[in-house]
Amino acid sequence: MNTETNKKSSELFEEAKILMPGGVSSPVRAIKPYPFYTTGAKGAHLRTADGITLIDCCMAYGPLILGHAHPEIGSAIEEQLERGWLYGTPSPFEPEFAKMITGDHPGMDMVRFVSSGSEATMAAIRLARGFTGKKDIVKIEGGFHGAHDAVLVKAGSGATTMGVPDSAGVLSDLVAHTRQVPYNDPEALEAVLAKNSDVAALIIEPVLGNIGPVLPQDGYLKEIRKITKAHDVLLIFDEVITGYRVGIGGAQKKFGVKPDLTTLGKIIGGGLPIGAFGGRREIMELVAPQGPVYQAGTFSGNPLSLTAGIATLRYLHENASLYKNLEEKGRALEEGIGDMGGGCFVRLGSMFKYFFRSSPPKDYREVKECDTAAFPVFWKKMLDTNIFLPPSQFETNFLSEAHTDHDLAALAQAYRKCR
């Protein structure tokens, strides 16, 4: 695809720019000079308004582990449409879905459904404060937990300093309560917690997805579990990406570390909007109406998202070889790309990225060392080859069950050609 000749997309963007800030509904989509507009999607492919078919390695930033418009999820949604799509009352889907999710996650005795991952982390942080009676939170530099105030903190402001807002409109008084430590650095966490007894929780993506994948070093997650426990600090695993991506039970199951609270989103909605937070029973019992920590939502637990979610989780459970197949697809791509020099391929199952850096980064500072000038050139060449990668050097790329051997071969060839 040649971005100069997409007449329909450029016209749509001209109109959108006047009506919507930046012309888009979420900042990362504002590709320059204008984004392509998608009018259809199936399997591993996107179809643009100008009639071009692209191989998709963004997969809506993670939710679509089964690919676009999966027929089984589609028919579950269609069947539910007949029965209505919003009740405003409890539905039988809720206990059914809650049973699946708590059954899969060692760290979740109870769960509350919400409508996005951002909402889930916002509520989990409030709950951690409500449970511990403490004020501060610690997050990981480069970790992303959605677009709300407490977590919109400038990265790289250092372990012992107070947080600095990463967005206009966020009060510095508020982010002063958010501290940051580097990933894969248990000593830095220990130092912050030793100095500050007012920390309610550490919130962490167990595998850094939003600048990655950046993988946990051996023993790191177990170590931070020990440290948080020793300081009476809750451990929140933000598994919005890793949940059902790195396997059933997410990173907590894969790495054998039990957090106090877990947030989920993305895959559990089967492509429809969703979020969830859950954790130890004694903590979750503080959530309203059972307890004093308020949380509510008009669309929470809506029957359509839950239908798609249940169908997806059922599919993941029933297709025993699915994660093995995803691993094999990932490996095939990795081997197909091979060693191109000047960069490195990092992968965990179906999460991957080619970093413009000679060795795999271990934290945000090392990710920032990537060749930021080379990436946009490479990205544009890939798009011209009809391959859509997330339009940011920092986002994780995803494979789905729908990526065929043919897609993977085309991808590997394109990487070699465009690098």
Ligand X SMILES: *Cc1c(COP(=O)(O)O)cnc(C)c1O
The site for ligand X (CB under 6 A) is made up of 116-118, 121, 144-146, 205, 209-210, 238, 240-241, 265, 275
For residues 214 and 136, give the distance between their C-alpha atoms in angstroms, rounded to a whole number. 25
Q: How far is the CB of 145 from ligand X (least distance, A)?
A: 5
Q: In the complex with ligand X, which residue's Cβ is closer, 190 or 260?
A: 260
Q: How far is the CB of 237 from ligand X (least distance, A)?
A: 10
Q: In the complex with ligand X, which residue's Cβ is closer, 206 or 343?
A: 206
Q: In the complex with ligand X, which residue's Cβ is closer, 118 or 184?
A: 118
Look at residue 387 and give its three-state secondary structure. strand
Per-residue tokens: 122? 């916002």
By Cβ distance, which residue is nearest to ligand X? Answer: 117
Q: In the complex with ligand X, which residue's Cβ is closer, 155 or 241?
A: 241
The H-or-E segment that residue 112 falls in is strand 110-114
Residue 68 in contact with residue 45, Cβ under 8 Å? yes
Q: How far is the CB of 357 from ligand X (least distance, A)?
A: 22
Phi first, then psi: what are they for 114, rounded to 5°?
A: -130, -170
Q: Which residues contact 158 (CB under 8 A, 6 or more apart)?
A: 180
Q: How far is the CB of 209 from ligand X (least distance, A)?
A: 5
* Count helices and strands in the chain by DSSP H and E runs: 14, 14
Side-chain half-sphere of 151: how many Cα atoms within 13 Å? 25
Q: In the complex with ligand X, which residue's Cβ is closer, 270 or 343?
A: 270
Q: In the complex with ligand X, which residue's Cβ is closer, 275 or 361?
A: 275
Q: Hunting for tokens 């999820």 — which residue is that?
A: 73
Residue 312 in contact with residue 381, Cβ under 8 Å? no
Helices (H), 319-404: 322-337, 364-368, 374-384
Q: How far is the CB of 118 from ligand X (least distance, A)?
A: 3
Q: In the complex with ligand X, which residue's Cβ is closer, 91 or 210?
A: 210
Q: How far is the CB of 11 from ligand X (least distance, A)?
A: 28
Q: What is the dihedral of CA 304, 309, 311, 314, to 10 degrees?
A: -160
Q: How far is the CB of 398 from ligand X (least distance, A)?
A: 11
Q: How far is the CB of 147 from ligand X (least distance, A)?
A: 7
Q: What is the dihedral of CA 183, 286, 130, 178, to 10 degrees?
A: 20
> How buried is residue 33: exposed, middle or buried, by Cβ count under 10 Å (0-12/13-18/19+)?
exposed
Q: In the complex with ligand X, which residue's Cβ is closer, 238 or 407?
A: 238
> How buried is residue 248: exposed, middle or buried, by Cβ count under 10 Å (0-12/13-18/19+)?
middle
How far does the chain reach from its first CA to its final CA, in angstroms?
17
Q: How far is the CB of 293 from ligand X (least distance, A)?
A: 19
Per-residue tokens: 158? 């250092």
Q: In the complex with ligand X, which residue's Cβ is closer, 1 or 140?
A: 140
